[in-house]
Copies of this chain bind each other. A is one copy, B any other.
Amino acid sequence: MQNFQYYAPTKVVFGKDTETETGKLIKEQGGSRVLLHYGGSSAKKSGLLDRICASLEKEGISYVCLGGVKPNPRLSLVREGIELCKKEKVDFLLAVGGGSVIDSAKAIGYGLANEGDVWDFYAQKRTASACMPVGTVLTIAAAGSEMSNSSVITKEEGWIKRGYSSNYCRCRFAVMNPELTYTLPKYQTASGCVDIILHTMERYFSKESGTMLTDSLAEGLMRTVMNNAKVLMKDPQNYEARAQIMWAGSLSHNGLTGCGMTEDWASHQLEHELSAMFDVAHGAGLAAIWGSWARYVYMEKPERFAQYGVNVLGIPMDCSNFARTALQSIEETERFFQALEMPISIHELGYDLTEEQLQELAFKCSNEDKRTIGGFRVLNREDMLKIYRMAK
């Protein structure tokens, strides 16, 4: 078990009608002039933005709007947001949406609280020393950005997708009303569930030992998401199932499921290149990659995959042959992805890639052959290429 820090200061306000508390929560944080940041038109059409605006007005909080955040949020809009906020003297950033909107708000926050070009942080050229306060009304359960320290931005020039993490950007509050996720398309719901499970898997698949508590929390979380994701495929307006998934999304990425672990994150890195190049839904991209990653690495410590299979999927343990139980757990996970109508290959994701494109993915993912990825098994460019080929 590794030493660890756990710091998840976001105030979560969870349940029905909680969006009406938004104004009060911003006031509590000292905000008086807000950027209302959002994505497409659904928040407007559903009346959610109106309810939030009413809640701000009730507290005497003024606001300016900036919509148009796209999945895999773009640097150009971040820059636009920074300029707008400077001009409008904004002191609080409210993200109404899912991970993309929150990540965009976090990037705007970095840009406002630090001198120089905001992309520098994502390019790992320097570190931020502050971030303007961000809060969120969450409408998609997936990315976990509402409690996490991370944000991921895509630079259109070269379609480079990069993440930056620091405690400064953690949301001051997160309003989570599971009802707001009722109208998500099936594909997006499923993709979100995969993302949530993967956030825990990236921490769970580790060679660490002596982490029974973190393991049991992670296993319980994964079981819960798998169980309730299937409910939502048939009954998308099931409040309890939406609630379990939504809360799991936050706990999966706020650090809790990684306490004491050495983490992996290879699947995420492999997928980031895919979704930067082809603009696919992040969760779907993860589903397309994960099985190939797992088959490539599981022999590093088959007991770990076997434990996952037994404790999460209910596969009987074969202690004389961990590898067999491990392989079964990988197959069973892919069957779960398929039950959610998620792809388990890049082909099923909708792309038939040439060898040249696979090479390009591996080249980019290895940062032009300058980095390795993965903690469970360290992967170099050659390994990445092999996994992309397996996932083809």
Residues of B within 8 A of A243 (CB): 1, 210, 260
A14 contacts which of B4, B8, B224, B247 (Cβ < 8 Å)? B4
Residues of B within 8 A of A346 (CB): none
A3 contacts which of B6, B15, B220 (Cβ < 8 Å)? B15
Given the known A-B contacts A219-B220, A240-B1, A243-B1, are A213 and B12 also in contact in the complex, defined by CB atoms under 8 Å? no
Whether A224 contacts B228 by the Cβ 8 Å rule is no
Given the known A-B contacts A5-B13, A11-B5, are A213 and B224 also in contact in the complex, defined by CB atoms under 8 Å? yes
Whether B216 contacts A223 by the Cβ 8 Å rule is yes
Whether a CB of chain B sits under 8 angstroms from the CB of A9 is yes
What distance in Å separates the Cβ of A253 from its nearest Cβ neighbour in chain B?
A: 14
Bound Cα distance from A11 to B5, whole angstroms: 7
Bound Cα distance from A223 to B214, whole angstroms: 12
Residues of B within 8 A of A13 (CB): 5
Contact flags A19-45 to B (C-beta < 8 A → 1, else 0)? 000000000000000000000000000
Bound Cα distance from A15 to B210, whole angstroms: 13
Interface residues of A in 324-355 (CB under 8 A from B): none
Residues of B within 8 A of A278 (CB): none
User: Which B-chain residue is minimally distant from A255 (CB atoms)?
Assistant: B12
Residues of B within 8 A of A219 (CB): 220
Bound Cα distance from A276 to B2, whole angstroms: 39
Whether B247 contacts A213 by the Cβ 8 Å rule is yes
What distance in Å separates the Cβ of A361 from its nearest Cβ neighbour in chain B?
A: 35
User: Which B-chain residue is minimally distant from A2 (CB atoms)?
Assistant: B15
Given the known A-B contacts A213-B220, A216-B221, A221-B213, are A5 and B12 also in contact in the complex, defined by CB atoms under 8 Å? yes
Whether a CB of chain B sits under 8 angstroms from the CB of A372 is no
Residues of B within 8 A of A1 (CB): 15, 239-240, 243
Bound Cα distance from A214 to B5, whole angstroms: 22
A244 contacts which of B9, B212, B220 (Cβ < 8 Å)? B212
Range class of the A interface residue count? 35 or more
How many copies are assembled? Answer: 2
Residues of B within 8 A of A213 (CB): 220-221, 224, 244, 247-248, 251
Bound Cα distance from A230 to B4, whole angstroms: 25
Whether a CB of chain B sits under 8 angstroms from the CB of A217 is yes
Whether a CB of chain B sits under 8 angstroms from the CB of A56 is no
Whether A247 contacts B259 by the Cβ 8 Å rule is yes
Residues of B within 8 A of A46 (CB): none
A220 contacts which of B18, B209, B217, B227 (Cβ < 8 Å)? B217
Bound Cα distance from A5 to B28, whole angstroms: 15
Bound Cα distance from A248 to B212, whole angstroms: 10
Whether a CB of chain B sits under 8 angstroms from the CB of A16 is yes
Contact flags A226-266 to B (C-beta < 8 A → 1, else 0)? 01100000000001100110011001000010011000000
Contact flags A187-226 to B (C-beta < 8 A → 1, else 0)? 0000000000000000000000110111011011101100
What distance in Å separates the Cβ of A245 from its nearest Cβ neighbour in chain B?
A: 9
User: Which B-chain residue is minimally distant from A245 (CB atoms)?
Assistant: B213
What distance in Å separates the Cβ of A220 from its nearest Cβ neighbour in chain B?
A: 3
Residues of B within 8 A of A248 (CB): 213
Residues of B within 8 A of A221 (CB): 213, 216-217
Residues of B within 8 A of A11 (CB): 5-7, 9
Counting from the closest, the 10 A-B pairs by CB-CB distance are: A3-B15, A216-B220, A210-B240, A9-B9, A6-B12, A7-B11, A213-B224, A220-B220, A213-B244, A212-B224
Interface set of A (CB-CB < 8 Å, partner B): 1-9, 11-16, 18, 209-210, 212-214, 216-217, 219-221, 223-224, 227-228, 239-240, 243-244, 247-248, 251, 256, 259-260
